Amino acid sequence: METCQLTLPNGLRIVHRQNRSNVVYCGLTINAGSRDETLAEHGIAHFIEHMLFKGTKKYSAHLINNRLENVGGELNAFTAKEETVVHATILKNDLGKALELMADMAFNPTFPPKEFEKEKLVILDEINAYKDNPAEQIFDDFEERLFAQTSVGRSILGSEQSLTSLVPPQLFQFATQYYHPQNMILSIVGKISAKRIEQLSCKYFGGFVARDQAHNRTTPGLYTPFHILQSRNTYQAHCMLGNRAYSLYHPKRVAMSLFANYLGGPASNSLLNTLLREKHGLVYTVEANYSPYADCGAFSIYFGTDKEKVQKCRDIISAAFNKLREIPLEERVLQRIKKQLIGQLAIATDNAESQMISQAKSMLAFNKVETSEQIKEKINAVTAIELQEIAEETLHPDRLSTLIYT
């Protein structure tokens, strides 16, 4: 089914996809994340996400936690580099409760002082737990160096030093700057009529004042490749290699997504999984990741292996990269990887929650939601020469960086 779009007079954009399920997925996506923080605010976007659950002008933390759960629903949130999302899963007859609650959390948070210091401790525990997992920590460390001295490179969680120094007025200032209707998308997937969506959206979100607030995101400067070996006293070696990549608006973004999926996507027949795991038995996990942002992007390969096998893995990867740079993919391979990605996306869009989140992000970035056929056409338009160009631009040894934990 196609999506319906609506913009309220105050600028809030709403995107809705109707399906046959009585379970409704809804989310409020705010165009503000960790890269919108100043150095003194590092971690504040994620901290606000936590504090939204701690009290509003209408609901206490206890009532927020029970408002949807008491009718079998769920309420959650997450923070990314460029957005914050508050989302709920609810039966369709209770959608009004979910929208009322999310609106109150986003526009009327009180950030109770008694909860402020307590939640700092919770997030500090989250940071420490993250540091205990090198397979996750290395991603943040790699991107921090890839975008050195910029907010897009800093971790979403913040640091012990930055969190300790935050004070309540900073939270109100950040929320006032970014939490307004024109900077948000309300996304809904479920068996609800467009008319009902409009009624509920106007009722719970229509009264908030429009305010056009431009972002001041600074595009990262020139990139200098790095090669770092860190002793972490881990059983395995954890390895990252990668490069800057294309932004959300770059004409090669779709081709880059196809390329990354071919190299190390979730399928067991990805190129690097076939070489490192299936053929040589060197790794348990290897993956490729492409993260496009508004004005930049990151591409990386991660693998974990025994310490004495790191160089062999790197030699195999290097040989594969050189081949991709020198020889275009055969047509049969190109067609296979296109069909694979199209199939993966079709299966992913069958998940209503993923659909709700992705259509909101699409509206935020492009002010539209493309149909499955439009996405399929873009993937099918990618050529072997285009992928070879991407390989040359992203995989050239002079441009690649490495970070290894041993």
Per-residue pLDDT of 101-144, as tens digits, reads 999 999 999 999 999 999 999 999 999 998 889 999 999 999 99
Q: What is the pLDDT of residues 47-99, one digit of tens each?
A: 999 999 999 999 999 999 999 999 999 999 999 999 999 999 999 999 999 99
The pLDDT of residue 254: 98
Q: Which residues contact 199 (CB under 8 A, 6 or more apart)?
A: none
Residues 262, 295 share a domain: yes
Q: What is the pLDDT of residues 159-175, one digit of tens each?
A: 999 999 999 999 999 99
Residues 332, 234 share a domain: yes
Please determine, for residue 350, whether its predicted confidence score (pLDDT) is greater than 70: yes
Show the tokens assigned to 405. Answer: 């934990």
The pLDDT of residue 349: 85
Q: Which residues contact 305 (CB under 8 A, 6 or more apart)?
A: 236, 237, 239, 276, 282, 283, 313
Domain end (from 205, 235, 255): 205
Residues 263, 192 share a domain: no
Residues 197, 100 share a domain: yes
Residues 174, 32 share a domain: yes
- Residue 221 falls inside a structural domain: no
Residues 243, 171 share a domain: no
- Residue 219 falls inside a structural domain: no
Domain end (from 205, 235, 265): 205
Residues 249, 170 share a domain: no
Compute the CA torsion angle 90, 19, 292, 252 (nearest 10 deg): 180
Q: What is the pLDDT of residues 310-328, one digit of tens each?
A: 999 999 999 999 999 999 9
Residues 294, 380 share a domain: yes
- Residue 158 falls inside a structural domain: yes
d(CA 237, CA 346): 35
Report how many domains make up the chain.
2
The pLDDT of residue 336: 98
Residues 378, 311 share a domain: yes
Domain end (from 205, 237, 261): 205
The pLDDT of residue 1: 65
Residues 383, 239 share a domain: yes
CATH number, residue 358: 3.30.830.10
Helix or strand (DSSP H, E) at 161: helix 160-165
The pLDDT of residue 218: 87
Q: Count CB neighbours of 51 within 10 A.
A: 23
d(CA 17, CA 188): 6
Q: Check: CB of residue 169 under 8 Å from CB of residue 41.
A: no
Give CA 307 to chain center in angstroms.
31
- Residue 210 falls inside a structural domain: no
Q: How confident is the model at residue 377 (pLDDT cuts 50, 70, 90)?
A: very high
- Angle (CA) 173-178-183 rounded to 5° is 165
- Residue 220 falls inside a structural domain: no
- Residue 215 falls inside a structural domain: no
For 188, phi then psi, to 5°, come to: -140, 135
Q: Which residues contact 312 (CB under 8 A, 6 or more apart)?
A: 280, 282
The pLDDT of residue 25: 98
What's this model's pTM, rounded to 2 decimal places?
A: 0.94
Q: Check: CB of residue 271 under 8 Å from CB of residue 391.
A: no
Residues of the chain with pLDDT > 70, as a percent, come to: 100
- Residue 222 falls inside a structural domain: no
Please determine, for residue 214, whether its predicted confidence score (pLDDT) is greater than 80: no
DSSP 283-333: EEEEEEEEEE-SS-EEEEEEEEE-GGGHHHHHHHHHHHHHHHHHSPPPHHH
Mean pLDDT of all residues in 180-194: 96
pLDDT averaged over every residue in the chain: 96
- Residue 218 falls inside a structural domain: no
Owner of token pair 């934990």? 405
Residues 236, 178 share a domain: no
| Domain with 115 in it | 3-205
Residues 238, 201 share a domain: no
Residues of the chain with pLDDT > 90, as a percent, come to: 94
Q: Check: CB of residue 103 under 8 Å from CB of residue 37.
A: no
